[in-house]
Structures are given as structure tokens and as C-alpha cells.
Amino acid sequence: MKSATAQGIIAANDLVIQKVETPEWGADVYIRQMKNKEVDVFSLLLKGSKESQSFTVQGVATICALTLCDENGERLFPDHVQGAKQLGEKNSQVLGRVFTATMILSAISSGDTEETETPGKS
């Protein structure tokens, strides 16, 4: 195996894309793993203590706006703030499904996802 170069690392397409079934929206959607800088946004949206963490409805919508994409990985909501406002008006169960798939795909640790509650779940 050859040694990595800075250019090679930067050029590598290392974000996995996954289809999520959303029949309620009339078509399936794609999500992609969070980029490192998007994980920073994720961390800022986290509420509560280490023992009991949760997201606001707007936080869930923001994470979805950051990761919903087309089959090539291009974000559907380039402005995640505006996208989150729009997604905040959608079915919470569907958004929760997309959010959960994003957490799994982005390898947020199983401990974090078990402690992290989406709105409407207890």
C-alpha cells in the first residue's frame, strides 16, 4: 500500500451515502455521513447532561438538513438554517427516522445514541 499524501487525503471521497425509506414523502431520500465540521454543529445542538441528553425538535431538523442529500452526496438544503426551519414543519416520525439513520451512519457511538432522545420519544 502506498503512503498517503495531503492531496490524496483531501481529494478522497470518504463520506458514505445511504438511502432511507420515506414513503410518507412520496420518495426515498439519501443521507450522508456528517463531515467533521458538521459534528461540531451536532455537539452545539446537544442539550442536557451526559447522563440524559436530548435534542430539540429544531436540533433534529438541523441535523437532517445537514445530511439530507442526493444520490451523489450533494446537500438538498445548502442553507441548513433555512432547511431546518422548513423541515421543522414536517412529520416528526419521518424526521426521527432520518435523524436516527444519520446517527448510525455517522458512527455517533451507541452509548451516545442510547442516551440521546429525539423529541416525542421517552
Which CATH number does the domain housing residue 105 bear? Answer: 3.30.2220.20
Q: Residue 86 sits in which domain range? A: 14-117
Pairing of strands 29-32, 47-48: unpaired
The answer to whether residue 40 sits within a structural domain is: yes
The answer to whether residue 46 sits within a structural domain is: yes
The answer to whether residue 35 sits within a structural domain is: yes
- Total domain count, the chain: 1
Rounded Cα gap, residues 92 and 61, in angstroms: 9
The answer to whether residue 56 sits within a structural domain is: yes
User: What pLDDT, on the 0 to 100 scale, is given for residue 49?
Assistant: 53
The answer to whether residue 3 sits within a structural domain is: no
Per-residue pLDDT, averaged over 97-102, amounts to: 94
Residue 65 in this model has a pLDDT that exceeds 60: yes
Rounded Cα gap, residues 76 and 119, in angstroms: 23
Q: b/e per residue, 2-16, with b = 16+ CB within 10 A?
A: eeeeeeeeeeeeeee
Residue 122 in this model has a pLDDT that exceeds 50: no
Rounded Cα gap, residues 50 and 20, in angstroms: 29
